[in-house]
Structure 1
Amino acid sequence: MLIKTKAALAAAAAMMVGGAALASPPTPVYVMKAGASDLYEKTSSQIVLGSTRNPDVRRFANMMVMDHSKSTAKVKAAALRSGVRPKPPMLEPEQRRMVADLRHAQGRDRDRLYIDQQKQAHQMALALQQEYAATGSAPALRRTAGDIVPVVRHHIEMLNHMR
């Protein structure tokens, strides 16, 4: 199951990165995808917090809940300033499957799966934020996306040093 999940995550990241190179999504789509990304980060982190014994995973998961709650609030505020009324975030189908896989994993396997999923999810989030920051149509959201990029990069750097 872990190998299948890694392959699906890699394919999803490749599609996201490949598609992001063309143009940023329309503003309402960006807001929806950013919200889904944050919701996935918070949901998956809360799942792992319920079981992990690894202090590094616990510290990272706590940071994910805090940082992604902040980015959700920033995107929502910028969306409202831009005249976009964001709907409550919903997980995308692939994110729902990833959450289900995480719920079914246990112990160290769950921790490893969580870290693998986080690496892929953060690559996808980075591509989304960078593209919108570069070419998005709403200035307030473009600035917010630009502010989020270094935070996501920091998360990726931390993930790359986790065992």
Structure 2
Amino acid sequence: MTRIFMAGVATLALLGACSQSEDPADDAAAAVNATQDAMSGAVGQTSAATLGANTAGGFVTALAVSDMYELQAADIAMTKSETAGIDELAGMIKTDHTASSDKLKSIAPTEAADTPIPTALDERRQGLIDNLNAAAPADFDRVYLTQQVAAHNEALTLLNGFKDHMETPGLAALATEIIPKVTAHRDHAQRMLDAM
């Protein structure tokens, strides 16, 4: 049993060595970025379920930042990826999240007047953008798609949690309206990731 375990460890070490770059600092940075992206998904899900889904102001802030992140990530993907499917997904995301952002800006002043719409990313999502920019060309598609699945799951938690918020019917209707598009983005990204 110990020999089998040792053989498995040796195999993993060899595979890891094969996939490492020539600069150990690049490998360390990639590992830190991947961990940061993974933690961001868990933090985002909790935040979307608790803060964003409970108040109009929280929803407006969360949706605006989510849309901003999606638009910036799509721009990076359209520049860095050489995969046609990524370009197609990023284009769809740009179109749909631009529309979502525009509708939010028209509804929010009426239903969440005390909440200014953010104009910059929060620190967590800025970290995701930084990780996309830092991703090596060979890793970019996987990093982008992994982020997209997590980000769209977070958005769905937010939207599903707010769609029945009857105190703000316009925002609730917006949440309901965009759920199918966000679901389609997430499913598209997941299919591409599964095919890698």
Evaluate the alpha carbon distance shift between residue 105 and residue 65 of structure 1 in structure 2; reply closer, same or farther with a 3 A threshold: same
* Secondary structure in 2 matching 1:50: helix
Q: CA 1:102/1:27 → structure 2, altered by over 3 Å: closer, same or farther? A: same
TM-score (norm 2): 0.74
Give the one of 4, 8, 12 matched to 2:40.
Answer: 12
What letter matches 2:117 in structure 1? K
* Aligned counterparts of 1:102 and 1:112: Cα–Cα separation in 2: 10
Q: TM-score, normalised by structure 1?
A: 0.88
Greater RCO (CA < 8 Å, at least 6 residues apart): 1
Residue 179 of structure 2 corresponds to which residue in structure 1? 149
The 8 Å contact of residues 122 and 155 in structure 1, kept in 2 or not, is answered as yes
Shift of 1:126: 0.7
CA distance in 2, matches of 1:34, 1:42: 12
Q: Across the two proteins, how many residue pairs are aligned to each other?
A: 163
Cα deviations across residues 23-69 of structure 1 (Å, max 9, x unaligned)?
72321221111010000001011012112110000111111111110
Whether contact under 8 Å (2:56, 2:112) holds in the other structure is no
Identity percentage of aligned residues: 26
Residues 1:21 and 1:136: Cα distance change in structure 2 (over 3 Å): farther
Give structure 1 stretches of 5+ with no counterpart: none
Moved over 6 A (4+): none
Q: Does 1:31 align with 2:69?
A: no
Counterpart mapping for 1:13-162 below 5 A: 13-21=41-49, 24-82=53-111, 84=113, 86-135=116-165, 137-162=167-192
- Bigger Rg, structure 1 or 2: 2
RMSD: 2.1
